[in-house]
Every structure is written in structure tokens, then in C-alpha cells.
Amino acid sequence: MLAILYPSIKLTEKAFRLFLSLVNSGPAQADTRNTRLTHRLANRSVMPAETEEIPEIDMSQQSEAVVAEQLVSALTTVGFCYAVGHGVPQETVASAFAESAGFFERPLSEKLRHRRDWRKSTCGYIPPHWASTGDPDEPPVERFSLDAPPDEKEVLDVCHTCDDTVWPSKSFRKASLDLISAAQDLTLRLVRLIGRGLGLSPPDQLADAFAGFATPGNTSELRMLHYPPLPPVTDGTVCGDRCGEHTDYGIITLVFCDSQPGLQVLSRSARYLDANPRPGRVLVNIGDLMQRWTGGRLHSARHRVLAPTDPKLRSQPRYSLVYFTQCDDEYIVRPLLGDPDSFPPVKTGEHMRRRFEETFLLGQGIDPQLPPL
């Protein structure tokens, strides 16, 4: 069947199964017990969603004015939306998923050949916390709070300017760069629509901050994530999340999920909303820099990947592909709306380096105590 639909792709049996899960799976519903869990690591009680939901926006069947209005509404109230009719080929997404799954199936010793030189680069492999050796040259564990356990994940970050040591293979590089190119096109389309929906004049001025999108001057990156299977729950509790609650650091994030549930968004009314994966959907959310850029108008929402309680889901891996977009490194972000003093100006590259520094210090068990930007 795959050869008939996409004759140019030659995939392994593992990749074929993953492809089918992307194309044929219906909306994956999280185990209802997940939404009833109190986030034991937060100092608040969070109730499950009832009437709130993440809105879906069809970018292909409506006028640009309508799409722009819907985008701004969703990203103001929830901070997230589903985009369909977005123009990213499903074939491109499936190929990147297949390459990602193949890489994470490799022995740890092979994956470590591509590990991130975290002092010099934002690209490379970050192993799961349990594989850490304590080597000072090894990338520290990512962590978002000293009160939370390390995430249950492993990561490969890539971008359009990675050196050859990062790429596991030529086919991996091609699949990644194809998805990065499509994600960049979608990002530029989204920021233009957002500018229009916000009433900026000219509406394209947000897109001007991405002039170096395909150059070393812009460090937007594609993150390939693998959440390994989890052991069975033996005492009725779930310890920690697959990915702890956090906000994203940059401008816009595009999330391509497999059929596994687990991603949850914290709404403004302190309810967790399930982000249910579905073939053809891209989950779009706002990062801290975009919130700053719009004077707080658009909302950078906290989110997490919950560890499931259902034994079947716990026994299965979870994969996602996430494209993190930021302005060119030298671009200075300052509020374009509201009080110009609501956020001090900040250079994009400096902001991103600081946020990564905080994350890795937390990963080493150190309270960053860094002054705010």
C-alpha cells in the first residue's frame, strides 16, 4: 500500500508500522484517568477540562482574514491551536518520523556518537537521564524545575546548519531538512496571518524578523523526541511526567505527534486540555518571545507530556517532531502592542542562550538564580 501511495519512499517494516499509525489512527483519546490526576509537583490543584478545548483552524477552506482572526483568538485565549490544511505534506512528516524512530532504536553507544556539544552548539543527541555518566563533556539532563524529577525522554536536535557529526545518515539528513523547509514555510505564513489578525501595519512586519531563516544567523531547530516505554504502575501512582510542565522559549512551535496521547495544555482557567493527535493536524503554540513581542496579547501557555496510567499505553513508546521557531539571533524583540515598557527589549540569541542555560543548570540540580532578561 505504501509503495502505491508514496513510491519514492523505501521504509523498513518498523517505519512502515509507524507510517500506518500516523495515517490510519483515529483521534487518540487519553485514558480518562490521566485527566483526573492531580499534578503532584505543582502547588495548585488542576481540574480536568469540561467545556474548554483546543480550537481547530482550517487554513485551506477559509479566507485569509477569517483564518487570521481565528488564529489570534485561539493564541490569545488558549495559546494553542490545531492547524489543518496547512500545506505540510504528510509524506514529508511520515518520512521524518520513520528516520527518527530508526535512530532511537540504535544502541546507546551509537547514538552517543552524535551527542550534543552543549557548550558550543544547540544541535545533537541528549540521552535519557538514566544513561548519564557524569562526564562533564556530556550534555546535562534537561529539567524545568528542581521540584520535578528529570524527564523520561531522549532527544536529537537538528537544524539547517548542523555539522556532519550530528547527522546519523544521508537519508536522515534529507528527511529532516525536507520537514524543516516545510515548517519554515508554514511559520512564515502563520506570522503573516498573526500580524494581520493583530492589526499590525504593515501586517508583514513580523515576517521581517526571519530574514535569515535559512542561514547560520537563525537557530530555529527541529527536535526529534522519543519517550521510551514505561514500567507498569505497581502502587497506583504515577511518578513524574514524560516531559515536565514548561513554556516554550521562542516565537512559534509546530508539533507533529504520533498516535499516542499524553500532551496536555494548561488553560488560563487552570484546566489541563488534552491535545489529541490526529493525522494531518499540526499543533501550533506560542512561545515566550512571541508573548513578549505582542506585549502579552498572545499567550505562551504551560504544557506537559503526562505519563499514562493505562498499562497498554505505558508499554508503548511515544514519538514527536517539534519545530521550534525563533527570530534571527541578532533581532531585538520589543513589544509591538500595548505598553512599550511592559517587557524590556531583548536580543533573540541572548534570550535563547539564557533559557537553555537555566534548563541545563536545573538538570544538574542547581538553582539558576539568574536575573530576568
How does pLDDT run across 112-140, given as a tens digit for each residue? 899 887 677 789 998 887 666 566 665 56
pLDDT at 43 over 80: no
Work out the end-to-end distance of the chain between its first and last CA atoms, rounded to an integer number of angstroms. Answer: 52
- Mean pLDDT along residues 164-169: 93
> According to the model, what pLDDT value does residue 224 have?
97
Tell me the pLDDT of the chain averaged across its residues: 81
Residues 349/206, Cβ–Cβ less than 8 Å? no
Under 8 Å CB-to-CB from 33, ≥6 apart: which residues? 309, 310
DSSP 157: E
pLDDT at 146 over 80: no
Segments of the chain assigned E as strands: 47-48, 56-58, 80-84, 124-126, 154-158, 221-227, 243-246, 252-257, 263-266, 271-274, 282-286, 303-305, 318-325, 332-333, 346-347
d(CA 144, CA 148) in angstroms, rounded, equals: 7
Helical H segments across 158-208, by residue range: 170-197
> According to the model, what pLDDT value does residue 368 have?
56
* CATH-assigned architecture of domain 65-361: Sandwich (2.60)
Beta-sheet pairing, 154-158 with 303-305: unpaired
d(CA 293, CA 333) in angstroms, rounded, equals: 6
Backbone angles phi, psi at 232, to 5 degrees: -60, 150
> According to the model, what pLDDT value does residue 9 have?
43
> According to the model, what pLDDT value does residue 64 have?
94
How does pLDDT run across 250-296, given as a tens digit for each residue? 999 999 988 888 899 998 888 999 998 888 899 999 999 999 999 99
- Cell numbers at residue 73, please? 483568538
Higher model confidence: residue 40 or residue 368? 368
How does pLDDT run across 323-366, given as a tens digit for each residue? 999 999 999 999 999 898 889 999 998 888 887 777 666 666 66
Higher model confidence: residue 106 or residue 44? 106
- Mean pLDDT along residues 201-212: 87
Residues 222/161, Cβ–Cβ less than 8 Å? no
Domain boundaries, the chain: 65-361
pLDDT at 311 over 50: yes
pLDDT at 46 over 90: no
